[in-house]
Chains A and B, each alone.
Chain A
Amino acid sequence: MELPLLSLLVWGPFVGALVCLGLPARYARYSVYVACIVLLVEVFLAAILFSELHMAKGIYAESNFLWVERHVWFVMSLGERWGHLRVDYLLGVDGLSGPLVLLAALLFLVALGPAWRMVRRPRLFFSLYLLLCGAVMGALCSLDMLLLFLFLEFLVLPTYVLIAFWGGRGRTEAALQFLLYTLSGSVLIFFVLLGLYLSISIPQRLPTEVGLQWVRHLDLTQIINTSHYKATGLFSSQNMQAFWGLPLRGWAFLALCVGLGIKVPLIPGHGWLPKAHVEASTSISIILAGVLLKLGAYGLFRIGWGVFPDQVLEYAPVLAFFAVFSIVYAGLNALVQMDLKRLIAYASIAHMGFVVLGMSSLSDRGMMGAVYQMLSHGLVVAALFLIVDGVEQRTGTRNISHLSGLADRGPRLAAFALLFFCAAFGLPGFSGFVAEMLVLMGAFEAIWAQSFSWGLGIFALLGIVLAAAYFIWAYQRVFQGPYWIRNAERTIPLRDICLWEVAVLSGLLGLVLVLGLYPQPVLEAMYTTIHHLKLLMYTYGSS
């Protein structure tokens, strides 16, 4: 019997959360060790999974995915008119989700660092943290759309509490904003999910019924097949019914893009992000920027690109436009930020803009670049938040105008800051360079590039220039020049970063460099899946 590796990945953190909650009060401080052990196991399992990703064969059938687990969750008879609703506990990974699973496992482990000495209700913190981890793994591994949606929704609650309880001064407002924005997005996704469920009818044999039954099943490996849609189904491509001039399928794709665009976030759905990043504790900021934003883009890939290829083909230029707008707008905003965390938040929006631009290019290179950018940004942003946390811990402020010359007293901190700032704006040798290069190549060779000329690609290039500007300018102001800290409550004998910080940052730097210098294994792991996704676009989409 095959090891249920994905179930272990998903439910291991849930068990860990229960263990943390069950610890007696006097052993509360050990909850961090429980979390650490669980996350080490997660990284180990994710690494096993990643090592086999090159065997993933595509997206058209369940057998093309790896480590598939399928159990019927429930089948509900809804009468003759409605047929049967079937929801499966269906897990599996491919070249799209596999790298992100490894990234998520790594970042959850890395983000434990700043929370290591958590003194305020550690049991609750680490149990929520592990619940969040389990929900993220569940969302990444689910191949049933309802299951994916449930995990996506479930992770909102622990994130809300983690921001609202352990954040900065404006944490409750930030948490509320996060909740409202993401749930508003979720409502739209739920709307699409319901419409899809009503449009699909797949002949299947059910364990509870005799003979073939018409089943409504949101199995993502099957709903990419247009023959599984009822001709009159709400979101069927054959349904010509239009609402305000746009076919219902177009409305569905629009709703999905808005819903997931808030999670990515694409401008103008980004309002929640800067505040949440600033007010959340460093660990949660890392998870927010490094993992949760990726779930939005992953959802777009898995559901938007997988289920609505025809609409993607039609609306890719519009998405690309919003992506480039996000890159430039967020870049300009980042230039004027005085809070280092806020600067990184806007930089994240710009980087996620590159992800969406790559996805919209509908080319192998661009789409692989998008996934690569997610990996690269996840690693880099984690390091950036660790550095900002280091600065704040030592100086008591994150305000750029209150800091100067930190390199004088903290050379190691400054060196890492310089390296990761360079990685963030995509200097050759770092992972960001490979990712952005692939995305831009994709944007220039996209089918819509001819009609749009190359305007969008050129504007996206401007984003890289802006990134270099705001990162280098921030580095110059914070780390160079004479050493002083304005408004310091006490004279601060600045300590350089300690050993564990050096170890973690070095590990992240190593990964960023490996991805920058030798991208082949990761690109190979994701190629088949991405290529099949592109083929889907041009076969089903054009038909």
Chain B
Amino acid sequence: MPPQHPLPHLWESLYYSPSEGALVMVLLGSLCVDLLAPEAKKRLLMRVVGGLGAGAALLCLVCMGAPTQEALFFGHLAANTGLQYVKGLLLLAYLLSLLLFEWDGKARFASSYPILLAALALGSLFICAASSFLSMYMAMALSAVPSYLLCSMGASKDSYSVALKYALLGMLGLGALLYGFSLLYGLGGATGFEFGEVLRKPLRSGGGPQVLMLLLILLGFSFKLGAFPLHVWVPGVYSCVPLPVLAYLSSGLKIALWVLLYRLSVDFLAHPAYALLLAVWGGVGFVWATLAALSQRTLRRLLGYSSVAYAGLFLLLIAATREPLPLLFGCTFYLLAQYASVGSLIALEERKLYHMSDYQTLSPILKRQVGLPLVLALIVLSGLPPFAGFTTKFLIFSALLEHSAPLFWIICLIILLSSVWALFYYLKPLYILFLKTPAEAPTAVYTSKEALSLWPRLGVWVLIFLLLVLFLYPMPIFRFLGNWSL
């Protein structure tokens, strides 16, 4: 719902934005550290500043209590219970990424990471809470620049070219969004999210500008989400970007965008034709990504296509239901699952045991240390029980079948069948690590029996355990999220 009562006083707006405020302070603090602290201690100090800021923001979010639906900053940002939860998730993702930097020593300009990551997280906080096209565009631009820069800092020699491609496509996506919003403003004078009336016009008059506007906005979102058809940057970026950043890009930023699209689409989905358009877009994206993932040979690209598929799945959810609970639960699952899978990759890449190469070269000798968590993380993503991925898919498919349009049922069936062949790529590492006999396995890249770091592996196990608990005992989180609005 759009904000109802704009708060006249700026201080009250600030009161409801502790997370944004804290990250701004983190950003400033990190810049000061970068200027003043000795080189050797920069990395540690920045992480301390980031951790303290995010921790304080999380504490504020918990202690502040649930705000009612409020418009902040003169209607440019929104605050409600659901958004508060999403912001908590984003801060958690930021904290986890900060922690993961400890085990990512390969990247260039490592001391600049935390500053850029804080900017990225701040951008995503603004994205999910944006209430006008102006704030939405600003938030997207704020998150875009740090993500391009972070991408260029990967250890791979291709990082620069991939970052350039990412930036160029990003400009294209942002440009499409800007053109879409300009058209919208020109057609109806709307700067807020209440543009249902404008969208209903083409169906009556048969005019084209509205359709063009809609397509431009959807294309812009498609780029930012890494969803079909503008997902072409995903495999390259996933191959090069440092893993802690990858974790945030693939979970935090996406969650913020899904929530924004959900809020944006209240008016947009009022007409069934647009809901169908969104559903078909999501469904085609899911099937396309699933097929493309089958031929991938590196784990990073595989995760990339998995994220494209999930983008399609969440678009379907947004098209099918106005209940916030499935989306909030799905976002929680997705965040934990992404960090579990990326965490297991960090354990794998930590000592250059395996780096962006063909995952067929995974040595069976690795299975004791990282194999099982990696395989379990992929099973979680595949949506098989007994993990929360199954619950999420259950909620999504229920939403699809609940819809009155038969096309939604057909899409549901197609997605269900696609999920079966998705198992091919999710279970391939299991086959290589556990089922191939050493004689059949290709040359191993890792033969040392030296133990890998305990903490990232332990972290992955904790996340997998949480996902198991979310499946086995979801009552508390359902109760927690049950009555919240978004």
Contacts and interface: CB of A to CB of B under 8 A. Distances in A.
Contacts of A190: 397, 416
A419 interface: no
Interface in B431-470: 431, 434-435
A198 B385 contact: no
Contact of B417 (A179, A184, A195): A184
Nearest to A184: B420
Contacts of A197: 398
A78 interface: yes
B423 A183 contact: yes
Nearest to A193: B394
A198 B398 contact: yes
A204 interface: no
Interface string A182-210: 01100110110011011000000000100
Interface string B393-428: 010011001100010000011001101110100010
Interface string B224-242: 0000000000000000000
A164 B478 contact: no
Interface string A65-92: 0000000011111110110000000000
Contact of A243 (B402, B406, B417, B474): B406
A195 B379 CA distance: 25
A74 B478 contact: yes
Interface residues of A, number: 33
A191 B397 CA distance: 8
B482 interface: yes
A184 B421 CA distance: 9
Chain B at the A interface: mostly helix, strand, loop or mixed? Answer: helix
A58 B482 CA distance: 37
Contact of A198 (B402, B406, B417, B473): B402
Given A74-B478, A164-B431, A79 B325 contact: yes
Interface stretch (A149-157, A302-310, A362-370): A149-157
B386 A154 contact: yes
Nearest to B323: A79
A21 to B, nearest CB: 11
B384 interface: yes
A165 interface: yes
Contacts of A73: 473, 475
A73 B386 CA distance: 14
B357 interface: no
A150 B398 CA distance: 16
A172 B436 CA distance: 9
B483 interface: yes
B404 to A, nearest CB: 9
A194 B397 contact: yes
A75 B325 CA distance: 13
Contact of A153 (B384, B416, B417, B483): B384
A191 B412 contact: yes
A180 B402 CA distance: 27
Contacts of A188: 416
A234 interface: yes
B157 interface: no
B325 A78 contact: yes
Most buried by B among A76, A161, A190: A76
Contacts of A183: 420, 423
A194 B398 contact: yes
Nearest to B420: A183
Contacts of A175: 435
Contacts of A75: 475, 478
B478 A76 contact: yes
Contact of B394 (A81, A161, A194): A194
B474 A198 contact: no
Interface in B310-339: 323, 325
Contacts of A157: 379, 384
A187 B401 contact: no
A197 B395 CA distance: 11
Interface in B368-396: 379, 384-386, 390, 394
13 contacts: A74-B473, A74-B478, A76-B482, A77-B478, A77-B479, A81-B323, A187-B413, A187-B416, A194-B397, A194-B398, A194-B401, A197-B398, A208-B479
Given A82-B402, A190-B397, 15 more contacts: A73-B473, A76-B478, A77-B478, A78-B325, A150-B385, A179-B427, A183-B420, A187-B420, A194-B397, A195-B401, A198-B398, A198-B401, A198-B402, A234-B401, A243-B406
Interface of B: 323, 325, 379, 384-386, 390, 394, 397-398, 401-402, 406, 412-413, 416-417, 419-421, 423, 427, 431, 434-435, 473-475, 478-479, 482-483
Task: Give the 4 A-B CB pairs with smallest separation, nearest first.
Answer: A76-B478, A187-B416, A77-B482, A74-B475
